[in-house]
Structure 1
Amino acid sequence: MIDILKPVIILFFCILWMIYLIDLHIYFTISVLRKQPLTPVVPMRPLYWTRIIVTSPPPEIIAADEVEQEALWHKLEEANIENINEFTDLFSRQIVERKPPKKKAEQTSKQQAMKILDSKRSQNVGILASSLHVDFSEIENAIYNFDTSVISLEALQQIYEVRATKEEIEKIRGHVEAKPEVPLDKPEQFLHELAEIPNFADRIACFMFQSEFEDGISTIDSKLNNLKSTCEFIMTSENLKKVFSIILALGNYMNGGNRTRGQADGFGLEILPKLRDVKSKDSSVTLLHFIIRTYMKGLPDPLATDIPLPIPEPGDIDRASAVEFEDIETDLKQLQKDFSICQKKTEKVIASSNEEHLQPFKEKMEAFLTEGQKQLTDEFDNLEECKQKFLTVMKFYQYVPKGTKISEVPPKDFFALWSPFCKEFKDIWKKEQQRVMKEKVQEAKRKQEEKKKSLTVKTVKKEEGGLKSKLQKMLKMDDRSNSFT
């Protein structure tokens, strides 16, 4: 008998233990909530966010260097919503009578010039040489003096790309030595003259790399600096904090009385792109519209031209989202590798050039290499600083990634939550400003019409028996008596 009851007894105690754990969890959850329960005057539409509860450790165990990295929700207070009655009316839960489901219906000449190149290769070189429209001396000047005033860098790059191969130049020089009386065809002559410039290929390669390096460094620097400034903005902007305090206040009001979503100290960023989808009971306005209107009502003049957008620019968010730390690190390492190759080519040209053709190549390249090495070092440091800044901003918002460590989250995952929110916010922001402007114009017209009505003059007739009339008569009588005397 005992053996038969044993599984039932074990099951009974297991159920009791689970009930105890649930009650314990609820007790500790309630005990750490900083905010008092809130009960809206009427049932509200819920806002399905991820509630964040702040559990502050005692001050003495917080390290001094951690103060600046304290999460947003530790200090952010809910905004005072003055138009809460309007909000309650708009976003209260609409009572819908459930109708019984309907059953769905079932459904189913002169001396010929020497040609050495093949015809296609000859044609390509000939077209380029003819398209330059300059004497060959100008090409020499550009290569020796880094002068692109006559021949552009793009043209020099094209010249570099059509340069003769080792086999081609050997054949061309062999013909010149064997039969100097037989002229070379124009394409072959062009390649021959290029090959006669000392270190022609290395000089142009160094020249082109300068431009490529500057473009590459500038692109990387722009990406990283935009990411840093965007992270800085969303951590320090007081205007953005004001927007978030409004979201927090409205969300807690909507979730009032709910034990898992109410009394929140903060919210997961996953709710940001969903704010535009929460509509009022008559679908006339979204929650994001109401948030923006509430923010604008707190401004001294919502139409002032110097009022900044309180959220990051959508373009900045998109550029930050496109940053891939691994790709940038790869690009920097490739630049560093190409930089070392350029350095070796520079040393080779300097070592083999005669005094006549040494400058300004030596001076310009040495200056470039010194500055370039500094820029590379700065950008590697910049990359590490950006990684740390990005990690800090995720911790600031207590962002919890799915299926990966926070240190491995790419910017695109984090900023994907911001991008639709910022785009929609900016669009509504502009429309709300236009709406406010229209209301002000209508108000001004109304006041003007009222003023016109008030200026209507009423004509009043003089009373014959009045004091003024009597005085006038007395004066006239005096005048007459004086005239008789």
Structure 2
Amino acid sequence: MYSLYVFILLLHDAGRETCVFPIPEPHDLFQASQMKFEDFQKDVIRLRKDLRVCTSEVEKVCKVSEEENLQPFKDKMDDFLAQAKSELEALEAQLSSTHSLFLELSVSFSVKPKAGEKEVSPNTVFSVWHEFSSDFKDQWKKENKVILKERIFPAGKEKSSYSVKPKHASGIVSSPLTLNDVTYLSEPRGCLPDHLMTDGEHKYHDCLSS
């Protein structure tokens, strides 16, 4: 627990309400553990099928329409289909890249597929991290409270060290001497410190010194 305490202490705003949880939230990891690459791949296949159907329908409409009635429908649909195709290809590339990175991550942590799995699933990896994040967050909250108390205690101690200043018979509150006061008192009688004297007082001081 001491190592966790030191780790939290080094965080920005440790012991304050603004301190940010340093690892993924348990809820986010739980959601990640419920995801399946097979489902994403099925969604991409369905989108590609829908795009083919849409493209086919546009071609049919263009074939049966008179030339003067094609615009602006044809140009708008051509732009729409081109953009949809580009976004779908980017989505497929992103899914493939993410899948590959996930498998590399599994290998780096020496995670092996469970019985019946062809490859390591997100559930196998992130369910472990979900448990860790949940336990870590509980301890993180406790240690932050400890640090918060340690921040408050010195402030309370300093506040309690203040004392009421005594009053003289005149009713004037006495104040401790400052460095300027000591400097002033140490000057020869009839003289002021240089930084407090006017031009006339400087001349008077020079006369006394000569």
TM-score (norm 1): 0.31
2:74 aligned residue: 362
Matched AA of 1:323: M
Match of 2:62 among 346, 350, 360: 350
2:147 aligned residue: 436
Are residues 1:295 and 2:21 paired? no
1:396 aligned residue: 108
2:32 aligned residue: 320
Match of 2:120 among 409, 413, 438: 409
1:378 aligned residue: 90
SS at match of 1:369: helix
1:440 positional shift: 2.0
Matched AA of 2:140: W
Deviates more, 1:410-419 or 1:421-430: 421-430
Give, in whole Å, the separation in 1 of the partners of 2:130 and 2:38.
22
Give, in whole Å, the separation in 2 of the partners of 1:428 and 1:357.
69
Q: Is the 8 A contact 2:34 2:123 kept in 1?
A: yes
Give, in whole Å, the separation in 2 of the partners of 1:395 and 1:310.
24
Distance 1:291-1:399 versus aligned 2 partners, 3 A rule? farther
1:298 positional shift: 3.7
1:308 positional shift: 4.2
Q: Is the 8 A contact 2:35 2:123 kept in 1?
A: yes
Give, in whole Å, the separation in 1 of the partners of 2:131 and 2:90.
33
1:431 positional shift: 4.4
Give, in whole Å, the separation in 1 of the partners of 2:151 and 2:114.
48
Give, in whole Å, the separation in 2 of the partners of 1:311 and 1:413.
19
Matched AA of 2:92: F
2:52 aligned residue: 340
SS at match of 1:403: coil
Q: Is the 8 A contact 2:9 2:147 kept in 1?
A: no
Distance 1:401-1:317 versus aligned 2 partners, 3 A rule? same
Give, in whole Å, the separation in 2 of the partners of 1:342 and 1:414.
38
Deviations 1:320-343 (A, max 9, x none): 222211111111111111110110
Give, in whole Å, the separation in 2 of the partners of 1:295 and 1:388.
32
Deviations 1:222-270 (A, max 9, x none): xxxxxxxxxxxxxxxxxxxxxxxxxxxxxxxxxxxxxxxxxxxxxxxxx
1:411 positional shift: 0.5
Distance 1:448-1:421 versus aligned 2 partners, 3 A rule? same
Distance 1:300-1:314 versus aligned 2 partners, 3 A rule? closer
Distance 1:440-1:396 versus aligned 2 partners, 3 A rule? same
1:309 positional shift: 2.6
Distance 1:370-1:322 versus aligned 2 partners, 3 A rule? same
Q: Which has the larger radius of gyration?
A: 1
Between the two proteins, the alignment pairs up a number of residues equal to: 168
Give, in whole Å, the separation in 2 of the partners of 1:448 and 1:300.
26
1:374 positional shift: 1.5
Distance 1:401-1:351 versus aligned 2 partners, 3 A rule? closer
Q: Percent same amino acid among aligned pairs?
A: 33
Give, in whole Å, the separation in 2 of the partners of 1:353 and 1:306.
63
Distance 1:315-1:363 versus aligned 2 partners, 3 A rule? farther
Distance 1:357-1:428 versus aligned 2 partners, 3 A rule? farther
Deviations 1:412-447 (A, max 9, x none): 111111112213323443443344324422331221
Unmatched 5+ stretches in structure 2: 169-210
Distance 1:341-1:400 versus aligned 2 partners, 3 A rule? closer
Q: Is the 8 A contact 2:58 2:77 kept in 1?
A: yes
Superposition misfits of 4+ residues, deviation over 6 angstroms: none
TM-score (norm 2): 0.66
1:271 aligned residue: none
Higher relative CO (Cα under 8 Å, sequence separation at least 6) belongs to 2
SS at match of 2:71: coil
Give, in whole Å, the separation in 2 of the partners of 1:300 and 1:350.
62
